[in-house]
Amino acid sequence: MPTYLRSQDDDSVKADGDKIHDLLIIGGGSVGLTLGATWAMLGRDAVVFDRQPELYGLPRVGHIDHEIVRILQQLGAEGPTVEDAYATKSYTWINAEGETLLEFPWGEDGISGWHSDYMQNSAILERSLLDRLLESETVEHMPSWEVVDLVQHDDHVELTAERTHMVPGEPRPVLTGEHRRFRGRYVVACDGANSRTRHMLGVDRDDLGFNEKWLVIDARIKRPFSLAFDSGQVCDPRRPTTVLPLGKDHRRWEWHLRPDENPEDFLQPDKGWELLAPFDVTEDDIEPVRQLVYTFEARIARRWRSGRVFLAGDAAHTMPPFMGQGMCSGMRDARNLAWKLDLVLSGAADETLLDTYQAERDPHVRDWTVISLESGKIPCIIDPEEARKRDEMFRAGFRPPMPDFPQLIHGILHRAADGSLVAPAGELGLQGRVQVADRTDLFDRLLPTTGFTIVSITDDPRTALGPQRTAALERLGCHFYTVRPSASGTSSPTDIVDTDIVDVDGTYADYFRTRGIEVVINRPDFYVFGGSDMSGLTALADDFLDQTAAAQPTGASRHREPVTATPSRGHA
Ligand SMILES: Cc1cc2nc3c(=O)[nH]c(=O)nc-3n(C[C@H](O)[C@H](O)[C@H](O)COP(=O)(O)OP(=O)(O)OC[C@H]3O[C@@H](n4cnc5c(N)ncnc54)[C@H](O)[C@@H]3O)c2cc1C
């Protein structure tokens, strides 16, 4: 029975043949491109529509973390971003007098095999993702096509796209009246904060009660200069300000606007230079490339799925950028959906698996949103008396408690009999450097990790699992690995052969030891299903098979050729 999201019964619409694509992706921003590039890596078929003729082309997102770089790495898209990025050493809050209130330790190694945090230029990141997508023979990119209608049928979705073009004097693409119709098994709408799809589906959003206007100036660096204050927040109650590098060639400044101020006034170049003056930068140093007033909001869609249509990225959630996690969260959405859609479309899992998408992602996004809101409260105090008291508290040694970063808490994760999560289930999994034969590199560069991985530090997991369980796991696309200690490591040397995976830095030994486990099941989105000692592996694997089998059609089987991440020119 078809469900019409908007009535569009027009015979002049050109149909895209009888083909039913696996996936139709609405929006080719960072989230749609991540999903498209992941889909291309999996060799699956999709079409990505964007109403814009080309990528935005200017820096937009500053901060990314190690998890995001691992995602880019697996897609072969991290090289240019990391080369241009600035690996953060710290992020600092100073007060109006320039005194340091707090320093965040953003200079550590992340568990994903990369530095914990980077300040980068998202124009480069998006370009790299699009390049991966354009190399694909299975994913088609359709710029200058705006999706204007959706109709849901029992086994597919029909989507109508309308060609756009740019008209002199018009800031946005204009519809041309030329339509095409496409069919897909599923649709993922990555169409941004004002998502038309979300409106068409009638999905409301929870408003977490934040609404502030901020002026953003991004500038190209014309000649090298150094700033007394390089990265962090100026907690000046007269004008809370954020200062950031955006990769090597750009910088960003953000200024809080009071409710009584007119945003229009802040779009004037003179106003920008007036605000930049205290930072001692002039037209000889920088060229502003964007001067915009944004409304920062915290909103989360109540439903992320309606039948065969999903919302991802800003279409599903927006948060203020104080922790730099908006796009990162959207890219996690894309990765969470990709493996689930892949299993369902392969016939290896039932559609109900797709219900775990919102169950897993929504609490994670809510946590990041609350952390972002909380982390914005202290530096953005605008009452001078309150700001004075805050500064005194920091001088007296006050430190706000650092929040634990979110993990997955629901969905396809290993649990005890009482339903509680068993650590490290829900944590991000490890990527370290390993040696295989004569090559030493990050794990994903040397070994297939696009499916589930079962990694042991002691014995081949298949020995403990036995042939039947191993075969069942292989049907779900599992890879089995045993990481051995390095001859030069702290453990005693073993007889290493060419096919062994050697823990060159002892990272894996540390990981398993500190968690008290010997084997781990990792999901394709790099989150841990669960871990145990070798004697608990069969129970762990049975729980994994049960949870996926609950969503598995009887007799389903599949065989997937291993795919290794595309080599790229970046280095850890
Ligand atoms: C000032 C500021 C700073 C930020 N800093 C950070 C940061 O440091 N780190 C971080 O992780 N996040 C940050 N964010 C958040 C980040 O910008 C967003 O979360 C991210 O860009 C969302 O990506 P998206 O792909 O979901 O949406 P978008 O980037 O908005 O992309 C949506 C795409 O869909 C297309 N589209 C829309 N409707 C249609 C249609 N009907 N048909 C076809 N195409 C359509 C649009 O043309 C667009 O290309 C920041 C945000 C702001 C405002």
Distance 18 CA to ligand 1 centre (A): 32
- What pLDDT sits at residue 497? 58
Query: Using 50, 70 and 90 to split pLDDT, how confident is the model at 108?
Result: confident
Place of tokens 């550590």: 108
449 Cβ neighbours under 8 A, 6+ residues apart: 74, 443, 479, 522, 524, 565
Spatial CA neighbour of 74 closest among 132, 32, 140, 136? 132
Closest atom, ligand 1, to C-alpha of 214: 1
- Residue with CA nearest ligand 1 atom 41: 147
Q: Decide the pairing of beta strands 157-165 and 86-87.
A: unpaired
pLDDT tens-digit readout, 447-495: 988 999 999 999 999 999 999 999 999 999 999 999 999 875 444 445 5
Nearest CA to ligand 1 atom 37: 191
Which pLDDT score is estimated for 560?
Answer: 37
Q: Are 240 and 387 in contact (CB under 8 A)?
A: no
Which domains, from first to last, does the chain contain?
A: 3-85+120-205+298-372 (3.50.50.60), 433-549 (3.40.30)
For residue 71, report the distance from its CA to the centre of ligand 1, in Å: 18
Q: What is the mean pLDDT of the chain?
A: 91
The Å distance, Cα 25 to ligand 1 centre, comes to 14
For a ligand 1 pocket test, name from 6, 35, 51 the mutation site with the most ligand atoms within 8 angstroms of its C-beta.
51
Residue 195 CA, closest ligand 1 atom number = 38
277 pLDDT more than 70? yes
446 Cα–ligand 1 center, Å: 32
How many helices (H) and strands (E) would you count in the chain? 13, 27
Summarised one tens digit per residue, pLDDT across range 121-137 is 999 999 999 999 999 99
CB neighbour list of residue 489: distance below 8 Å, 6 or more residues apart: 503, 504, 506, 509
Question: pLDDT at residue 147 above 70?
Answer: yes
Helix axis angle for 66-74 and 122-135, nearest 10°, is 20
Nearest CA owner, ligand 1 atom 15: 326
Please tell me if the CB atom of residue 198 comes closer than 6 angstroms to any atom of ligand 1.
Answer: no
CB 531 less than 6 A from any atom of ligand 1: no
Ligand 1 atom nearest 216 alpha carbon: 1
Distance from residue 112's CA to the centre of ligand 1 (Å): 24
Tens of pLDDT, residue by residue over 181-230, are 999 999 999 999 999 999 999 999 999 999 999 999 999 999 988 887 88
CB 33 within 8 A of CB 185: no
Instruction: Calculate how far, in angstroms, residue 327's C-alpha sits from the geometric centre of ligand 1.
Output: 7
- Ligand 1 proximity of 52 Cβ (cutoff 6 Å): yes
The four Cα atoms 535, 538, 540, 543 give a dihedral, to 10 degrees, of -150
The interface pTM score, or ipTM, of the predicted complex is: 0.99
Ligand 1 centre to CA of 31 (Å) is 8
pLDDT in tens, 292-333: 999 999 999 999 999 999 999 999 999 999 999 999 999 999
Rounded CA gap, 283 and 219, in Å?
10
Paired tokens of 350 = 């039932």
pLDDT tens-digit map of 16-26? 777 999 999 99
